[in-house]
Amino acid sequence: MSELEEQLRSLRTPTRPLSTAMPLPAPSLRESVERRRAVWSFAAALVVSVLVGAGVLAWAAGTRPEAVGTGPVGTVPVTSRGPDALGPGPTVGLDQIVVLMQQRLDALGIDGATVELRDPRVVVTLPEGVDRDRVAHLLDPASIEFRPVLQSLSATVGPATPSGSATGMTLAPDATGVIDDGTYRYQVAPSALSGGVASTLAAPSPQNGRWVLTMLLEPGPTGIDAFNEVAAACYRREPRCPEGQLAIVVDGTVVSAPMINADHFERDQIEISGNFTKEAAEALAAQMRSGDLPVELRFG
């Protein structure tokens, strides 16, 4: 059982204990049973519709048809460029690319595609009849922004988040606006830092074995300096970052909105922790580093 699950179970115990007077039997049972039947239809109506795929909708923004070949759509071989394309920092495993491709295909609403690892390649096989334009941006580098959270807007985005809402549309870097993460909706400030992430790695923390993300930022004003400036504002909860949270926005979608717990960071000593499972940490790392996937897209 994961730590998160353990913590959830701990919520069974209230802050203040319950009193333990045994209740008296209810006077009228039949009436309540009839009510109960009526309430079931109410319950059925409350079932919220699909959230699947809402998390990563933004891949669909923009097309680059010139990147597409002229051959028949069917098999899309994706070839690793090799580790030299990665620069410093940890490499992206092909198995994680498989996961990421599957996420992107899901986000694009393409059913029936298969993603296979045929080392050293990742092969994406598309179902019949998929419009090539739809997958043209499958491997587009992601944009990543750091935006202070001005306000966490109440709870749910709603049962379905069509692409007409904030998700899928890109907020201008200097604009304030509302962004979803598929579950929550955030009002965010203009981007404090765009790009600047050299690499991201999911790994168990050496301190306690919990899964965390370590983030390596670029040096200088387009990296760690800009990050530190906004981090300090968040840490002190200045008006520009009143919630102390910094939203990490990948391709127009909030992938995480962590609290900032320090006012100064070294560029190679930034850790995002949050009761992550291994899978959740790796998925988030893959999203945050999708800007430099060591892959290319060719149509067969």
Partner 1 sequence: MARSGVADEVANDVEAIWRTRRTSMVATLAAFCGQRDLAVEAVDEAFARSLAKRAVVESMPSPEGWILTVAINVAKRNAKRTTRRRTLERVDHDAQGPDWIEPSDPRFELWSAVRELPDRQRMAVALRYLADLTEPQIAEVMGIAVGTVGSSLTAARRTLASRLAIVDAFDGATDDEGGAP
Residues 222-281 touching partner 1, rule: CB under 8 A, are 231, 246, 255-262, 264-266, 269-277, 280
One of 22, 65, 84, 128 touching partner 1 (CB under 8 A): 22
Closer Cβ to partner 1, 48 or 172, answer by number? 48
One of 34, 36, 83, 120 touching partner 1 (CB under 8 A): 36
CA distances (Å), 109 to each of 7, 13, 57, 222, 255, in order? 34, 42, 9, 35, 19
For residue 2, what are its two tokens? 């994961």
**185 three-state secondary structure:** strand
Q: Which of residues 152-171 bind partner 1 (CB under 8 A)?
A: 154-157
Closer Cβ to partner 1, 95 or 263, answer by number? 263
- Dihedrals phi, psi of 52, to nearest 5 degrees: -55, 130
b/e burial code for range 37-56 (CB count within 10 A of at least 16 → b): eeeeeeeeeeeeeeeebbbb
* Shortest Å distance, C-beta 236 to partner 1: 14
**48 three-state secondary structure:** coil
One of 284, 285, 286, 295 touching partner 1 (CB under 8 A): 284
Binding mask 40-69 for partner 1 (x = CB under 8 A): x-xxx-xxx--xx--x--------------
* Contact (Cβ atoms closer than 8 angstroms) between residue 186 and residue 254: yes
Binding mask 175-214 for partner 1 (x = CB under 8 A): ------x-xx--------------------xxxxx----x
Give yes or no for residue 102 binding partner 1 (CB under 8 A): no
The β-bridge partners of 201 are 214
* Shortest Å distance, C-beta 75 to partner 1: 29
For residue 72, what are its two tokens? 């028949």
